[in-house]
Each structure stands twice: as C-alpha cells, then as structure tokens.
Amino acid sequence: MQESWIEKFRGLNSLPEEIRSELVEGSDVVSVPAGTQIFAPGQTADNLLLLIDGTVRVQQRSDTGREIFLYRVHAGESCVLTTACMLAFEDYAAEGSAETDVTAVAIPRATFDGLIARSPVFREFVFAAYSRRITDLFTLIDDIVFQRMDVRLASRLLELAAGGQVVRATHAVLGTELGTAREVISRTLSEFQRRGWIEQSRGEVRLIDEEGLAYLVKSSGS
Amino acid sequence: MQESWIEKFRGLNSLPEEIRSELVEGSDVVSVPAGTQIFAPGQTADNLLLLIDGTVRVQQRSDTGREIFLYRVHAGESCVLTTACMLAFEDYAAEGSAETDVTAVAIPRATFDGLIARSPVFREFVFAAYSRRITDLFTLIDDIVFQRMDVRLASRLLELAAGGQVVRATHAVLGTELGTAREVISRTLSEFQRRGWIEQSRGEVRLIDEEGLAYLVKSSGS
DNA sequence: GGGTGTTGGTGATCAAGTCACCAAAGACCG
DNA sequence: CGGTCTTTGGTGACTTGATCACCAACACCC
C-alpha cells in the first residue's frame, strides 16, 4: 500500500524490488496547498518532486517584469527543473508554484544520488523526463513562432476544459498562459462567441461547440 | 597529451584520476566535416558528444515544413540532446548538424552509463549541461515573446561576428536563425545601414559601428 | 447605497509576418 | 562571350498581433 504510488509512474514500474524499497524508504509523500512556491531562483531545492496529484505551473519572470507561462507539470510527471535548482544555477528566472493542491513524492538529494548511481532504470526515468521537457519546449517555441493566436487559444481552451465544458480563467490569465496580451484574448474570444463556439461570463468560458474549436485547431496543420 | 581535452571542459577537471582514465579509454576523439548530420529523428545516436572544436547547429523542422533555429552548441559544451536521441523518443523533430568542421569526444552509451553510475562529478557535469540547455531555452522563449526584432538582430550580429567585423550569412539564413521572415531581416538591415551601423554586400554584413548596435541592445533592458 | 478593485471592451497606432512580384548579382553552359 | 537560370535582396499592400489609453460593467465590502 505504502509503495503503491510507484504504479503511477510509468518507467518506475520495472524497478527491481530492492531499489524500489530504497526509493520508498528514502522519500516522503508530501502535500502542499494551492499557491505554494515549489522552487524559485535563489531558493535551494533539496528534493526532486514526482507529482502524484495536482498540477505545478512553471513560468518565467522576465527582466521586464512580465511573466510567461512555460509549461505545466501533471500528475505522473516529475518536476525536473528542481534538479537545476539543486545545482544552484546562477542566471535563471523560472519559478514553479502549485496550481492546485498538490500531493507529491519528495526525493531528497541523497536518495536521488544513490538511486542514480545504482539503478539503470531510475537513470533512464530521469533522463527521459529531462528529454521530454526539452522536446516539449521545442514544440512550444514552434507554436509561438508559427501558430496563429486563435488556433493556440482554441487548443488551450480544449486542453484546460479537460473534457468538461467549462474553463474558469480570466482573460488576463489566458493571456499570460499563451504569452500574449489580454486584449488579444478578449478579441479572439469575442470572435469565438460570434461563431457560436463558446459563451462567456465573468471569469469563465463555457464551451458550446467543441467541434468548432477542434476543427479550427485541426485545419491549421497542427 | 592524449587526455588533454578534458581540460577544455570545466566540470570534468575535478574528476578523480581513475575515472578520468576510464573516460579517456572508453571514448574516441572523432572529426566530422561541416554539414554532417549529427542526430535526427529516427536516427539512433549511440554517443554523447563533447565538442572540442567547431559548432553544432540544432534546429527544429516544423510540421508546416518551416525550420527554426533553436541553439548552437559551442566548443567546451556537450550535445545533450543526443541522449534524448539515445532514448529513441517518438515525437520530436529536432535535428543537429555540424555547422563547421567539428572535432568532438564521442562517449559511447556503455561508457556513459558506467561513468554516470560511478562518478558523482560526471553526474553533475551531465545534469548541469541539461539544466543549462533548459534555462537557455527559457531565455530564448522570453526573447521571442518580448524582445523587438531589431534588438534581437543586432544582438545576433554581434554574436555571429564573434569580435570580428564580418558576418557571412544571407538574409534568409538570418531569418531562420531568428525565426522570422527574410523580408523583416532585409528591412531591419536597411535601417541599420541607414544609421551607419553596418554595410552590406551579397551574402555578408560588415559591422561598421558596433557601439551603435550594442547600444540598441543594451538600451532595451536585456 | 456608495466606494473600490477586478474584469472585460474598444479604438488608435505600431511592429511584425505574409504574399506577390520584381531586379540585381552570380553561376553555368553552349 | 552572351544568354539563361538560380540565388539573393528589395518593395508595396495587407493582415495579424502587441501596446497604449481609457472606459464600462461587475463583485465585494463596509
């Protein structure tokens, strides 16, 4: 029962029994409330986090004071950037915060180091997580540069709704989420509404015609 | 003499003698001519490369057929994306190619694995390289979203000139380098020329007033 | 009910990307 | 050598997106 969380992480399933218990013994399951700062520049992180439940939002605070959303860590994923934090990197401005209440496995540096040294499976898990992050950033860059705003917004709405009909977010939040201005979101949403794809009320967007949104996304070669 | 290349990599200097020779014994110094494909989707890479000399260009081939430059690996750095390649990641479209003639240390997977397992210093070297890549991508994204094109171009020209006065590149190349259209480069360069900062001829840009370019870059809060 | 802060709407203006097309400079070839 | 072809760069018109300035509607709190 205690070690059942391992099942949530594909890539850890095949850990040999001995390593598996070393991992469980040497780490803690922690819970943090929504809004908690997970890592930030200057703040030394001593744990690698594996998310069991909830999401962590990683964003960059720009020199100019503006913020840009980078990616979201979901349950079943690990928050590899904290390892960068462990190395106490000088010049980075990314920060991670709990977007919802979060339950996670915290692997302290010592345990992490030991597992990396001893288990090829664990190594592969960690490297895969890193690589995944990097390739995700590649597609993000590709999107930012080549994809139209309306397509990106439509796609993000579908993603945030997660199968449901409602997205609770202000225009300003959607703006930082896509790295654009609130006005652009307002105008694009008006257009979506005009086409009957969504309905709006203060702080929320209701998806009426997901087909329409999905068609927009699909039609533009993404 | 044989192992002198290690000196080029800060972070490997402090390797204990035993590990050091294991690294030297278990790896090869290779040379490839400019233009060689270093890694690409579908092509399994079996070596981690540490660049001794030359540069490797990493770019993404977009779904839409367009290309965008991501980053450049310089001498003294390692090409960590090849490890992603080792893991045979399904859905990535990045490729690396030698931009100049390249000399590099090729560390085969077996050696790599052994060193990771046995040497904390080597581990830190690899993780630092990964983290550096990720944080570099963060700043790239920040630039793309918030920085003006003229500032980015000025900064890139200074970088490509590497202290000299001449940048040999067509407008189209500078375009993909910055993820923008050739026309935008043409117009911005005309403006720079009008201000007396550069002179142009077919396929090359000569920097006349680096101060001017540098001032533009500095003045915009980067 | 009257502030007060938050959220959303709008027009004007500017930067940048896109499209269509042309002109000049080299490269190639008979 | 002259003629054709390819590469490179220039330009105008138009669209999209970012930025600025402002205002209106709403929620919340006393």
> What SS3 string covers B31-81?
EECCCCEEEECCECCCEEEEEEECCEEEEEECCCCCEEEEEEECCCCECCH
Q: Band the pLDDT of B89: cuts 50, 70, 90.
A: low
Spatial separation of the C-alpha atoms in residues A129 and B19, rounded to whole Å: 27
Helix (H) or strand (E) segment spanning residue B166:
strand B166-168
Structure confidence at residue A93 (pLDDT): 80
Q: Tens of pLDDT along B16-60?
A: 999 999 999 999 999 999 999 998 887 778 899 999 999 999 999
| A118 interfacial to chain B (CB closer than 8 Å) | yes
Q: Band the pLDDT of A220: cuts 50, 70, 90.
A: confident
Q: Which residues of A are less than 8 Å from B179 in CB distance? A: 141, 145
**Beta carbon of A149 within 7 Å of strand D?**
yes
Q: Which of A134-138, A181-185, B171-175 has the lowest mean pLDDT?
A: A134-138
Overall average pLDDT of the B171-188 stretch: 96
pTM value? Answer: 0.91
pLDDT at A222 over 70: no
Mean per-residue pLDDT of chain B: 91
Q: Tens of pLDDT along A5-29?
A: 998 998 899 999 999 999 999 999 9
SS3 content of chain A, % helix, strand, coil (to 5): 45, 25, 30
pLDDT at A65 over 80: no
Overall average pLDDT of the B155-178 stretch: 95
Structure confidence at residue A89 (pLDDT): 66
Q: Give which of A177, A179, A187 is closest to A150, Cα–Cα.
A: A187
Partnered with residue B56 across adjacent β-strands are: B73, B98
Residue with tokens 């597992």: A115
Spatial separation of the C-alpha atoms in residues A14 and A6, rounded to whole Å: 10
Mean per-residue pLDDT of chain A: 91
Q: Which amino acid is at A177?
A: E
Spatial separation of the C-alpha atoms in residues B203 and B144, rounded to whole Å: 25
Three-state SS for B180? coil
| A7 interfacial to chain B (CB closer than 8 Å) | no
Which residues 80-99 of chain A have a CB within 8 Å of chain B?
80-81, 83-84, 87, 89, 91-94
Residue pair A175/A185 in contact (Cβ under 8 Å)? The answer is yes
Residue of chain B minimizing CA distance to A141: B141
Q: Give which of A35, A52, A49 is closest to A98, Cα–Cα.
A: A35
Structure confidence at residue B222 (pLDDT): 55
pLDDT at B73 over 90: yes
pLDDT at A2 over 70: no
Q: Band the pLDDT of A3: cuts 50, 70, 90.
A: low
Overall average pLDDT of the A196-220 stretch: 94
Q: Band the pLDDT of B156: cuts 50, 70, 90.
A: very high
Percent of residues, chain B, with pLDDT higher than 90: 76
Spatial separation of the C-alpha atoms in residues A196 and A207, rounded to whole Å: 9
Structure confidence at residue A41 (pLDDT): 82
In whole angstroms, C9 C1' to B119 CA is 60
